[in-house]
A and B are shown apart, each in its own frame.
Chain A
């Protein structure tokens, strides 16, 4: 990766783009500089994967990355390895009512995937495009399979692609002034739930990302920062 190029790009974009809505993102990038650097590294490393997925998702590669980039920036593999075994046992044993937790680089929850599976089942087009996503009726075996899939980056990319298609179809009557407006909407849907109404998703709401941090940011603002800072 050409870091100088990225730094230049960041600098230029910082300076030239309008400030509206990006203040939070800038501050996030400031506070989590190392994490953002790693997320940008991840983008460089997996750009080709995002390009392939973006074609199927009907959005640009950087749009697709930006939707999950805040989660990527907070992901730490040590944390993932060390703290999810117990949660996996509880989910496999008892289902999402018991343990619904974030897994993997894009920090997806089993309930998120279950919702996507339901959407595929109800939509003939999606059923053709994502036929392998659906799993049999809820059972211990299907929950185990779902967790195994969630631990794979390839499957997370598939779920992310499907998410974009679901949101596109669910909000097909919604118009977006710009792609940045659309990104904020998709990022909110990713972070807060695509089952929410358009009105709810457009409300800014209180900042609550990252979950544990004392000083919190709006997820959509952070996603927008990434969108503006990758090419």
Chain B
């Protein structure tokens, strides 16, 4: 599903137009006093063709309303959240919504107009990195009609209307909103902890670290494992092994980190800092340490290597498959087992390596930002932060970058301009025609001619119609314009 479906306007109209006067059509008129709700980074609407969903907000009543194809679905004094996390919304389906509703006492799910519930809590199992993918990725994860809910401290899931015991581990937090119980759903069981904490998972295994005053508690699968001043870098594997670092004191009484495995000290040496801990499925542990300015690499079955100024992004699968970024004489390099070291670079980010030997990372030098993969090298691009790199689902690569201020995505070698490019303007070139809208002007320009009375909120070229199509907010009216080019 495209990003534009969630956050911005992907207008695909099926309206016939004749001549070169733009057709103006009102899609929706906001009730008096209501405005389009604005999330922190997004306008709360999604459109497809002449169908739409949006959240409106009334500053007088402080109520938010979800409107689906012109029909108010949910009105709430409680913040509805962002449109892409409400549940499921597909404006192309009749009654294509499955959303969470709270009536002040209980939770319900409104499935296309039919209410399900009441429940004590409802949640969707969007991935932990949903926000990251949404903000940085080429496409956000698909929405789901399936949801999970809590009844009498048990967790269930509704899969295509069929109700069954929940599977998987999810952090629910303070579901009673009274700060007394912080819950983790472990399959169908609700495990509660007395304080907010950090959840770590691997398969059905989970670790939970919370703090009470100056004391930290570590629980593995609901069972107490350790108590100390601090636990960090908790890593689990599917066998149920747990590795973490624990703050302690060395023989001289100085504070230091100890590497722990399953509640026992794994490395009797304490370090100023232990970092980049890797735990394999077989229970092997790789990590880096820092002591008195000396950075060391600890790989299973190998001597400790302390010849680096810095090490980061250590990825370890086994003795034949690992990689990391290191610094020597002020320059950064990438080492991948079995390959010549790569570099020197000014800096390296986004290093990813899989067991098949495929890798991707970005680096910068005096020319700008570059990407390097097992298959090639790309750049230089703008030296921007927020660049994104990942393995694609097809076994290739996907990365995003800014080139001369324009955002592009390269997925499996195919480069495309971002759907929603530019923070200042929309600038489209198609078949010798140009569409241009800048936020500070209350009109758009097509082929040098001023058109309309407002800037475009978003615009696109409709290939089937050979037309520029754009959307504007004019007073309380959400308006779609279409301008044929032939």
Contact pick for A4, options B275, B309, B421, B458, CB 8 Å: B309
**A16-B255, A31-B198, A215-B198 given; A77·B420 CB < 8 A:** no
**A3-B327, A89-B455, A92-B439 given; A77·B386 CB < 8 A:** yes
CB pair B42 A11 closer than 8 Å: no
In the complex, which of the residues B38, B59, B440 has the most CB atoms of chain A within 10 Å of its own CB atom?
B440
| Cα(A191)–Cα(B273), bound, Å | 31
> Which residues of the partner chain B approach A97 to less than 8 Å between Cβ atoms?
35, 59
B434 at the interface (CB under 8 A from A): no
Determine, out of A78-86, A112-120, A130-138, A172-180, the stretch whose residues face the partner at the interface: A78-86
Interfacial residues of chain B within 22-48, with CB under 8 A of chain A in the complex: 35-36, 38, 40-43
Question: Chain A 70-103 against B: per-residue CB contact (8 Å), 1 yes, 0 no?
Answer: 0000011111111111111110111001111110
**A8-B290, A78-B384, A78-B400 given; A102·B426 CB < 8 A:** no
Question: Chain A 1-35 against B: per-residue CB contact (8 Å), 1 yes, 0 no?
Answer: 00111011011101110011001001100110010
B86 at the interface (CB under 8 A from A): no
B407 at the interface (CB under 8 A from A): yes
| Cα(A7)–Cα(B291), bound, Å | 10
| Cα(A213)–Cα(B127), bound, Å | 11
Determine, out of B105-113, B129-137, B185-193, B297-305, the stretch whose residues face the partner at the interface: B129-137
**A78-B386, A78-B388, A81-B422 given; A19·B273 CB < 8 A:** no
CB pair B40 A212 closer than 8 Å: yes
| Cα(A210)–Cα(B41), bound, Å | 12
Contact pick for A140, options B211, B255, B418, B442, CB 8 Å: B442
**A3-B309, A16-B255 given; A26·B198 CB < 8 A:** no
Contact pick for A214, options B171, B385, B437, CB 8 Å: B171
Contact pick for B232, options A30, A99, A213, A214, CB 8 Å: A30
B144 at the interface (CB under 8 A from A): no
CB pair A102 B40 closer than 8 Å: yes
CB pair B293 A4 closer than 8 Å: yes
**A85-B420, A86-B8, A90-B457 given; A19·B35 CB < 8 A:** no
CB pair B135 A86 closer than 8 Å: no
CB pair B247 A15 closer than 8 Å: yes
Contact pick for A101, options B40, B136, B295, B442, CB 8 Å: B40
> Which residues of the partner chain B approach A51 to less than 8 Å between Cβ atoms?
none
CB pair A83 B214 closer than 8 Å: no
> Which residues of the partner chain A approach B256 to less than 8 Å between Cβ atoms?
15
Please give the distance in Å from A61's CB to the nearest CB on chain B: 21
> Which residues of the partner chain A approach B293 to less than 8 Å between Cβ atoms?
4-5, 8
CB pair A15 B255 closer than 8 Å: yes
CB pair B473 A88 closer than 8 Å: no
CB pair B198 A88 closer than 8 Å: no
**A8-B290, A8-B293, A16-B255 given; A147·B272 CB < 8 A:** no
B82 at the interface (CB under 8 A from A): yes
CB pair B439 A212 closer than 8 Å: no
**A85-B426, A144-B439 given; A78·B387 CB < 8 A:** yes
CB pair B43 A86 closer than 8 Å: yes
A-B contact pairs, 25 of them (CB 8 A): A4-B293, A10-B273, A11-B257, A19-B214, A19-B230, A20-B214, A23-B216, A26-B230, A31-B198, A78-B384, A79-B386, A80-B423, A85-B424, A86-B458, A87-B38, A89-B455, A89-B456, A89-B473, A97-B35, A102-B41, A147-B440, A211-B40, A213-B131, A214-B128, A215-B199
Q: Which 3 A-B pairs have the closest CB atoms?
A: A76-B386, A15-B255, A212-B131
